[in-house]
Structures are given as structure tokens and as C-alpha cells.
């Protein structure tokens, strides 16, 4: 199975394996929305824009982030890429701090989180999720 085919929780656990369990992490999120959300057939979701589908995801995810002790520490609209792949454009950037890798994994493994990922997947044309730790 290719890396991108792993369920997200398993992929995250594997990729983050070398990080200390109890050290804070900040996730850098770069988001590019679809014009129209691409929900799978049978999802029951009302048609909407990618932005609106991400709002559906965000309404629940912020509560789940807070429940594990995390918080959105910054969000904004990227306007220009000075160094990076040409043509790479992002609609939104977020920094989300979790008290630990354990807290992040606890959140993404919850059935409630897994149920809302349909909105995130439908919403995004492309994204990056980059785990960072405080510099020593």
C-alpha cells in the first residue's frame, strides 16, 4: 500500500513516530479550496463551495482541537509566495498548537473527527499539513 493510501491516523502515527509523546507541536496548515465541494455519492451532504465545506469541517474540528487542549494560534490569507514552487497558491494558512503529539493523535483517532473528514476531503483541492516542534 502506498503511503498516501494509509488511513490518515495510521499515516500520522507513522510519520510522527520519532517525535516525543509529550512535547508541544504546531501544525502548519496550507489550504486550497475547490470551487465546488466534491462529496462522495451517498454522503448526504448538501452541495456547496469548497470554502463552505471546510467551514462545516471547521465548526466541529475547532471544538475537538480545544477538547484535547489545542488552539488555533494564527490564521490568515496567503498573498504571495516569495520562495517556493511557482504557481502554488493557497487560500488559507493556519497554525494549530497541540500540547503534545499524543493529544493530536487522540483527536484524529476519535470517531467524531473521522466522521467530519468527509467535509475536509470534499473541500480541498490541495493542502499541506506540516508538523513542527519548538526549536531547541
In the chain, where are the structural domains located? 22-132
pLDDT greater than 90 at residue 125: yes
Architecture of domain 22-132: 2-Layer Sandwich (3.30)
State the pTM of this model: 0.88
> Cell 463552505 belongs to which residue?
52
pLDDT band at residue 6 using 50, 70 and 90 as cut-offs:
low
pLDDT at 108: 94
Amino acid at each position: 500500500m502506498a503511503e498516501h493510501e494509509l488511513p490518515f491516523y495510521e499515516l500520522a502515527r507513522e510519520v510522527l513516530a520519532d517525535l516525543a509523546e509529550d512535547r508541544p507541536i504546531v501544525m502548519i496548515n496550507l489550504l486550497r479550496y475547490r470551487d465546488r465541494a466534491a462529496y462522495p455519492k451517498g454522503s448526504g451532504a448538501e452541495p456547496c463551495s469548497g470554502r463552505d465545506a471546510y467551514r462545516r469541517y471547521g465548526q466541529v474540528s475547532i471544538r475537538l482541537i480545544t477538547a484535547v487542549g489545542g488552539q488555533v494560534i494564527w490564521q490568515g490569507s496567503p498573498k504571495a509566495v516569495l520562495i517556493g514552487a511557482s504557481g502554488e497558491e493557497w487560500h488559507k494558512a493556519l497554525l494549530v498548537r497541540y500540547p503534545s503529539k499524543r493529544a493530536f493523535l487522540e483527536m484524529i483517532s476519535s470517531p467524531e473527527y473521522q466522521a467530519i473528514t468527509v467535509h475536509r476531503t470534499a473541500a480541498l483541492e490541495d493542502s499541506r499539513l506540516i508538523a513542527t516542534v519548538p526549536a531547541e
